[in-house]
Each structure stands twice: as structure tokens, then as C-alpha cells.
Structure 1
Amino acid sequence: MSATLRRRLIIPAAIATAAGLALSGCTGDIAEQDAADVDCTPYEDYGTFDGEEVTISGTIVETEADRLIASWADFATCTDINIEYQGTRDFESTIAQLAEGGNAPDIGIVPQPGLVALLAGNGYLEPAPAEVEANVDEFWTPDWKKYSTIDGTFYGAPMLASVKGYIWYSPAEFEEKGYEIPTTLDELMTLTQTIADEGDHLPWCAGMESGEATGWPGTDWIEDFVLRQAGPEVYDQWVTHEIPFNDPQIVAAFDAAGEYLKNPDYIDTQSLISTPFQEGGLAILDGTCSLHHQASFYEVNWGDGVTVAPDGDVYAFLMPPVEAGGELQVTGGGETVVAFRSSPAITAVLTHMSSDTFAQLRVEQGGTVSANNGVDASTASSPLLQQTIEILQDPNTTFRYDGSDLMPGAVGSNSFWKGIVSWLTGGSTQDTVDSIESSWPS
């Protein structure tokens, strides 16, 4: 892509996002002016569409929206499809209403499988085209495909991904104080107590504030403990309600997380709910915190000039298993690309966004990863993201999608989030899980 084309795409996109306006891909005069600078070989089989418009919406905004748009820019130029993207943080709460009124975009980038199921169940979604399904069968594991297969019908391809359960730390502090990366949950607790006993600062820092989604970072803690302590089969039973939310094994996970999150000797319990999740780990940089539990995507929050590497300013290790050397078990998340209507141009865009070409371009833009097995992990923008792609591509990894994202919306994006807030502000574990269980749709 030429420098001119890149500027024309990215700078207006950032301005439009801030204003809440539609974000456009390269079309019209821009496409004609710069097409000679673009290698259209990867897009020859798609054909051309004479400026036909395809609208896309999702929760991706600001810098990440710029990177997303840049990832389909060459495709848009070569196929002459006018791709208009609108990013909004309210996508999850408004998309069903828009679909009901016939005002949904052509394509939605949906961050929760539970929301995909809701939209499909209400008849708002088109089944995925055969070309998209073929790409998913080739480039993703069956687990990823099943997350958007509802009652036997496949609705959409995965896009980006993340691995949760990372624990961020300062390599310099660990080296200076002789801390070792824990290999078991018991060792993680021992490390926590060691830091607390030294008295320089609290071991952990975190932030739970996220607007209407406040509390969601706490659900990630619970999910990690359910997977590690109870195992993947119990995890699956929990998210599908084959066992109740207040099952003793889930109570145990809450209590295990509570040993960290509700202990004022380990974390500032007074600021947890009011601290924005984006700022939750930044105290590591000034030496007033040692450990922060957050996903691989947290890397973008460290800011310019911060090196993410084993010998850098910050790095991360995965929350360890119960026993050292056990099977690698991780939770994670991602987005699903679905369609609210169909046309040849929409099919072309969906097919591109489900391809290894798109996934590779997006990873090269930086700050994220994909579980697409056609991506070269070495091209990720940091050693941590390279490791994350390798974990996602490893057939021996036990991967489970974020539990709250799989649960019905009344639970996963409502009572579970709210329950975390109540629990962290003094509620008992039993009252919390009982309340969430009572909210499960019958």
C-alpha cells in the first residue's frame, strides 16, 4: 500500500471515530488514484463491484478501527467495493434493536457468541456463505467454528482473538528481587505473600470500571479458576447451565479469586470498582504494583515507548495450573463476523475477512492476534503476541472461550458483571452465585 493511500485511510478514520461518524474504506477517486500502487494479485478471484457499498459496524474504535480499515484497504481498492465502517461502544446494547427495525449494517463484528446466538435465534442473521465456511474449515480449529454454529447452522467466521489469564509484571523487578515465575497456583499465592510481606507496595493492581460493562474483568478471574481447578468439562457444563451457577465448584472458583481480589493486604479493594480497566495495571510502570491479571489485548494500554518483552519494561506469564507441567489450559475471546443481509459484494467482503490474507494483514498492523492458522506468528508486534498466536495455533492447547461471552446475555453481560461488583463491594460468595443463578433464563 502506498504512503498516500495509507494517510487517506487512517487520518480521516480517526477523526470520524471520535465524532461517532461512519468510517470509510478506499473508494471512488482515492481507489482510482492509487490502484496502480496496490498489488491486486491476492484479490483477482473476487471480481469488481463498481463502487457498491457495504456497511460494517462493531465495537472496535479509535486506533484499532484505523488498523481494521487498513487491513481491508487493498481489497477495497482492487474490488472497487466502498466499505463503510462505524465503530461504537454501544454496538452490543443496540444491535438487536437496529436489526429488529431493519436498520442493522450489512455486516456486524460481534464480540460475544451469546449475542450471535440471540441475533440468529431472532432470525436477524444470514447463514454464512459457503466460501466463508470453507475458509473457516481450513484456517481455524473446529472449536472456533462451533461458537458461531447455532442449531446446526453456521453464521460467521472468527476474526481477531485474545488469550486471557495473562499476569503482567516488571521483568526488572523480578530480576532485582529474585522472584521466579510461578509454575503452580500455590506458587502464585506464595509469590503474592512474599511481595506483601516485603511491604514496599501491594502485590496486585486491577481496574473493574468499564461503563455499562463494569465488572467484566472480574469474570475473567472466575473463568480462569474454574478452568484450572475444575477442568474443561466442568467449565463447559457451567457455561451451558448443565450445572447451576451456584454449583460448589463455581463457589470454589469465586473463593479462590477472592483470596486475591477481596484481600486488602494484596490489592487496593477500595479502588477496584472505580479504576478504569485500561488503567488497572499501569502502576507496574511506576513500581507501585507487581502483578496485574489481564488479557493479551491489554498490551495496547501500556502506551508509547513501553517495551513488552522478557527483558523489557513489562511482560506477562499465564496464570499457572494447579500442578506444574500440566496441560496448557487457557481462556480467551474474539469476534465473529456475521451478515444481516446478503449480496455478492457482502459475500466478497465476508470471504476476505475470513481469509488468511486478511488475518495476516491485521496482525501486521500491530496490537492484536488471530487464531487463524495461516498467520505467521513471527510477524506479531511483540514477543508476547507472538507467543499468544503460537498458543492459539497449538493443537495441544485446551482453549475455552470466555464464559460470560458464551452465557445468555441476561447472565453473561448482565447479572454476572453486576454480581462481580456486588461481590467485590462486600457481598458474600454464596449470595452472589445464588443471585446470578436466579437470573438464568428458564
Structure 2
Amino acid sequence: MSAHAGGPATAAPGPGPRPARRLVRTVTVVASCLALVAAAVVVGVRALGQEPTVTLLANWTGPDQKNFRRAVIEPFERKYRIHVDYQGSNAESQVLGADVEAGTPPDVVVLTGPGELADYARQKHLVPLDGLVDRDEFGTSWATPLADGHVYWFPLKADLKSIVWYPADVGGQQRRQAVHDPAQWCLGMGSGATSGWPGTDWIEDILLQRYGPDVYARWARGDLPWGSKQVRDAWTTWYGLVGAGGDEALLRRALKTPYRSASEPVGATPRGCTLEHQASFIRNQPVWQHAEGRYEPSAQLIFGAPANRAWEVSGDLVALLHDTPQAKQLIRYLASAEAQRAWTTQESGLSVHAGVEPAPGEAGSDWHRSLARALRDEGATHCFDASDAMPPAVRDAFAEATIEFLAHPTHLDALLRSLDTLSDSPGLTWVPSVCSAP
């Protein structure tokens, strides 16, 4: 029983407990009826279109979608009285393309590819974010101005990619021996319509660590041929590390395994693999949680470099397709430190917002805070995932080529010639910048 405004609650008058129970039942029934009426009013208002609604398409499904709803969407709805009609899809590029062609695109979209977004901006499907988002809160590799000077996207969630995961009980000497054993690499190339991208991550990171951000950026902009010595060397180095075209059992495992299942052999007895070259999000997989997964920079582990030349990074990028008041309000909110902090606090992702730098004593896992600091390290260069920054046709062909190369390494020259021909096609949109200088 709650206290009254003037002081402590008093007992209801009456000869005994029966009237009190009757009163409780009456109050409960009335309260329930009022709740039902309130819910009916909310549904009715939405049905009549009187509550502002914003449509949002993103790639989060399952637990990620639940976390996103709880941490980000629901607080926004409560605060601004704007309903978010959320659609999560693992094939969001295809869904968005179909919606745009039908003339029914969502108000706001979250995509992983700046190259894809740049193409939509060129076709005038995106609304510039000038006045809605402060680009200084993120940085040029995250909120990239296009040739027209406008910024069309910003990151809601970021990930670090130039890392290798290993179980906590695998020592340094064991890791350095495992690097040279293809059987010790956990590799799964499957990802539905986007299968092959784990291979592109490998090749991109090798190029970045061996030749530096300038060469990497030239290639990602379409200015360095696929047949160049540097790019070709990245492919053949990957070949040697993972045993492309070699052991049939390893090859079959890599080609048939979905990327989310690649680390399952870590939990087997005996272990089937001990190292995984994968982005920071993979740490939330149960097998890595059970193994207390730790990470080492790929530059140190694979190449013996004393420090990273640069980090490869990726992100889930937010863009605006409809210039409505409620859509713009959602954009402002998603770009705010409040929303970005709520998302990263759940350890569902990391934020690069200038106002969300993790403090040393902040609650959370050590590995999560460590990754966040690496993403925010002002002394390092951060380069966006090159294939995600490429035009969609080139990105998709690159992913398919990694699968072909894994099975048939002798096809490399033909694959690189084909990618060069495609990259020279007229009408492609290339992102002007993918790396941020320290």
C-alpha cells in the first residue's frame, strides 16, 4: 500500500478484513480496465495514423534485435512519443533495393556498406544529414563527406577487425606456432547471399598490415589495380595461412561452414581450431564466451610487427531516406551520445562517438573496454572495411572470388583480371576516403 500525499497510509474503516479484500478486488478490476482502455487508445491512435511513425530497416535480428529494441528504440518511443516500425532482415540490401524500386523505401536505414550508401546518394535517394549530425563527433572514416560536400551517414555501431581471437588458456608460444598451421584457423565462409566476406576481411587486413594505409586507401578508392603486386601478394599470403586448395577436409569445412559457426571447433574435445581472424562482434558467440576469448592484433600475431600500422574497422551506418520530422528526430537521437552509450553498454556493439569514450572504471568486460579504446585511439589510423566501401557490384564479385580462390588457387590471375575489368566499368560510385589519419 502506497503512502498518501499527506503522510502514512491508514487502515480502511470497517469491522474486519472482508471489506478490505472486496475493496482491493474492486480497485484491481478498475485498474485493469483502465489499462485495457489505455492500450486500446494507443492501438487506435496508431491505427488512425495520429501517432507519428517512423519506419526503420536494419540487419539486426534475434538477440541483437531484442537488445536494440530494449536499449535504443523503446527509450526513443517513450521520450518523443514517436512509434518506430522496425524491420530486421539478414538480407537488408536486397530488401532495400526492392523497396526503393517499388517506391516504398523506409524512412531510415542501417547498412554496413558506405559504398552502397554512396550509390544511393548519387541516385538522390538519401537526404543529407547537415544540421542533424555533427561530423566532428565521429571522424572522416566514419562520417565521410562525398564529392558534393555532404555527409549522408554516420555509425551507430562499430567493430574492430584487425584482430585474432584465441582461448584464454592458449599461450603466446602456442599462438605463434598455430599461425603457421592452416588446421588451427577457424574459418567459415558461409553467410547466405553475402557468403565469402570473411575471405575479403582476411585479404583486406593483410594488405593493410603489410603495405600500410596509403596503399590500402588507393585500392579501396579504385585507384590501385587488383593485379598490382601488393594486392596479389595479399591473396597469396592468405593462401599460405589458411591452406587454400590444400587439405580437402579443411577446405570443405571452410566452404560449408557459416561464419557464425566457424569457432565451434574451439569448444570440441580435442580442439579443432584455436585462432579466428574475425571482427570484435564474434566475442559474443557462446563458444568464445565459454573459452574466455581474448584477442591479439593481427599485425603482431601474423607478421610479428611491434605495433599496428592501422586498424581495419567496420560499422553499421545510419542514413535518412525521407525528410519527415519524426525521421529527422530519430536521426538526431541515434547520433546522440545518449543512444550510442545505451547500445554499447549492452555489449552488443561499440561506439566511436566522441562523447562515449569508456572510462577506466566503467562497468563492463575488460575485453569490451579494451576494444573500445582501440577504436577510439587517436594515435592510430582507422581504415574502413575496403569491400564495404566499394561499389556493390565490385564488393559482391570480390566476395565470390574469395570462395573460388579458396577452392582453386590457380584461378587467381583470371579472378584478378575480372575484378579489374569490373572496377573499370563506367558509372560506379567510389567513396573518396576510407582512412582517418592519426
C-alpha distance in 2 between matches for 1:228 and 1:109: 29
User: Counterparts of 1:9-408 in structure 2 under 5 Å?
Assistant: 29=38, 51-70=51-70, 71-132=72-133, 134=134, 136-137=135-136, 139-146=137-144, 149-174=146-171, 179=173, 188=176, 190-193=177-180, 202-262=183-243, 264=246, 268-286=250-268, 287-302=271-286, 307=289, 313-321=292-300, 322=303, 324-377=305-358, 379=362, 381-408=364-391
Mapped to 2, the partners of 1:203 and 1:336 lie a distance apart of 33
Aligned-pair distance for 1:114? 0.6
Q: Unpaired segments of 5 or more residues in structure 2?
A: 1-36, 43-48, 427-438
2:419 — aligned with what?
436
Residues 363, 381 of structure 1: 8 Å contact kept: no
Unaligned segments of structure 1, at least 5 residues: 1-27, 34-48, 182-187, 197-201
Matched-pair contact (CA < 8 Å) for 1:222–1:254: yes
- 1:29 and 1:350 map into 2 onto residues whose CA distance is 29
Could you state the TM-score of these two structures normalised by the residue count of structure 2? Answer: 0.79
Q: 1:229 to 1:31 in 2, by over 3 A?
A: farther
Instruction: Tell me, yes or no, if the aligned pair for 2:299 and 2:307 is still in contact at 8 Å.
Output: no
What CA distance in whole angstroms lies between the structure 2 residues aligned with 1:295 and 1:381? 19
Q: Of the two structures, which has the highest relative contact order with CA contacts closer than 8 Å and spacing of 6 or more?
A: 2
In structure 2, the CA distance between the partners of 1:85 and 1:373, relative to structure 1 (3 Å rule), is same
TM-score (norm 1): 0.79
Contact 2:227-2:420 within 8 A present in 1 as well? yes
Please report how far the alpha carbon of residue 124 of structure 1 lies from its aligned counterpart in structure 2 after TM superposition: 0.8
Residues 115 and 391, structure 2, Cα contact 8 Å, conserved in 1: yes
- Measured against aligned partners, the alpha-carbon deviations of 1:133-184 in whole angstroms (never above 9, x if no partner) come to x2x32x21232221x635322112211010112211112132xxx6266xxx
Distance 2:283 2:38 in 1: 36
Distance 2:40 2:189 in 1: 43
Distance between the aligned counterparts of 1:57 and 1:261, measured in 2? Answer: 36
How has the CA–CA distance of structure 1 residues 355 and 409 changed in structure 2, closer, same or farther, with 3 Å as cutoff? Answer: same
Query: Structure 2 counterpart of 1:394, which letter?
Result: D
The C-alpha deviation readout for 1:69-114, integer Å capped at 9, x for no partner, is: 1213122112100111101122112313312322001111121001
Greater Cα shift, 97-106 or 232-241:
97-106
Shift of 1:355: 0.7
* Structure 2 contact 212–309 (Cα < 8 Å) conserved: no
Contact (CA 8 Å) 2:155, 2:315: kept in 1 or not? yes
| SS at 1:273 equivalent | helix
Shift of 1:366: 2.3
Same amino acid, percent of matched pairs? 24
How far did residue 267 of structure 1 move?
8.2
* Distance in 2, Cα, partners of 1:266 & 1:384: 35
The letter of the residue matching 1:162 is D
Alpha-carbon spacing, 1:75–1:232, altered in 2? closer, same or farther (3 Å): same
Offset at 1:327?
4.2
Bigger-Rg structure (1/2): 2
Matched letter for residue 252 of structure 2: Q
